[in-house]
Homo-oligomer: A and B are copies of this chain.
């Protein structure tokens, strides 16, 4: 099938999920989870072939690899969706207009979701699960490296849904993994309602630049922690170390520390010691290097870089205004945190930092659909249109107006 035929097939079968009731959605999810477990050996065998073809190094292979434990985790993810309420059909607003028209604003699925992603085959099942519980059709386009794993996971889930008595063709996997195929996918206007790229900065940029269908930018996170002049050092160190080192490859990890000038001299040595204790590589501004000349100099580019590793940039700033300006200029509007005991500084930071999630005295690592209580997550939006921050089931819906009259015409 061509990319267009694949997308059309999902759209043609949209009603199989968009008009399904919650009970049927849950049966599809339960059947899929069970099948992933019983068919684990088949999935692992297909994944093994992908791994054998993979020439992109150990870190990449680790992300690609599936084993029984990981498959069980994926199945658990689907089962967790059963407990969440399906948002479709929720009446968001209801009122009677001056002329007697009764107006209802009702939540509806977005339609056909397009997901384009990199090596991790768990995204295949996660995205299908979220699509099922939000009433959306889904077209998946994973990477070439994971094609056999993705085919296996999709086949197991679709077979399970079919055996449970439902039409699974609202789920489609694009098997054309060429670059041209990806570009075609990004231009499926009138067929695919929304494209969600999940992966590195290059993939996101490619989607933003080439897609003619609506895109939600997700998951680039150049996140900051700012020690304001009233910062409690022990709180700050604990937040910084958690945000930087608890997991480095994720978008809500801290990449840059801003340090108020008035406390820089006093705190910098302890901060550096704590970071070094965790093997964090430090690049720092000239002000820092006046205090600790042995520090490596940071470049302009460092301040704009999402390291995704044990590396951090450190910069001295003149008060909360400069901190905010720096974050708004160099950040990616994801998650930023102020460490302060001053309410006014906290309020200013919360108001003026233009990011999806802004924290006072807490780690940026909490920006996550599960931590925020959404129960699931399709990604973290760093744009302001439609959804910002973690995207759960509600963020995968739109709405329509339903208007009830008895012959009203406009005067």
Bound-state Cα–Cα, A193 to B384, Å = 7
Determine whether the beta carbon of B398 is less than 8 Å from that of A385.
yes
Within 8 A of B (CB), among A177-206: 189, 193-194
Determine whether the beta carbon of A385 is less than 8 Å from that of B214.
yes
Closest to A381 in B: B398
Closest to A187 in B: B209
> What is the oligomeric copy number?
2
Determine whether the beta carbon of B386 is less than 8 Å from that of A372.
no
Instruction: Please name all residues of chain B whose beta carbon is closer than 8 Å to the beta carbon of A215 when the two chains form the complex.
Output: 214
Closest to A354 in B: B111
Bound-state Cα–Cα, A361 to B99, Å = 13
Determine whether the beta carbon of B19 is less than 8 Å from that of A246.
no
Q: Contact mask A378-409 → B, CB, 8 Å, 1/0?
A: 00000111101100000000111111111111
Determine whether the beta carbon of A110 is less than 8 Å from that of B400.
no
Bound-state Cα–Cα, A16 to B209, Å = 30
Q: Contact mask A52-66 → B, CB, 8 Å, 1/0?
A: 000000000000000
Bound-state Cα–Cα, A180 to B51, Å = 47
Determine whether the beta carbon of B384 is less than 8 Å from that of A388.
no
Given contacts A214-B215, A235-B407, A367-B401, 10 further A-B contacts (CB under 8 A): A97-B371, A193-B384, A214-B214, A239-B407, A356-B400, A358-B403, A365-B410, A372-B401, A384-B398, A388-B399
- Interface residue ranges, A against B (CB under 8 Å): 15, 19, 95, 97, 101, 103, 108, 110-111, 189, 193-194, 208-209, 212, 214-216, 232, 235, 238-239, 241-243, 246, 346, 350-352, 354-363, 365-367, 371-373, 383-386, 388-389, 398-410
CB-based closest 8 A-B pairs: A362-B405, A242-B409, A384-B398, A365-B410, A386-B386, A235-B407, A357-B401, A214-B385
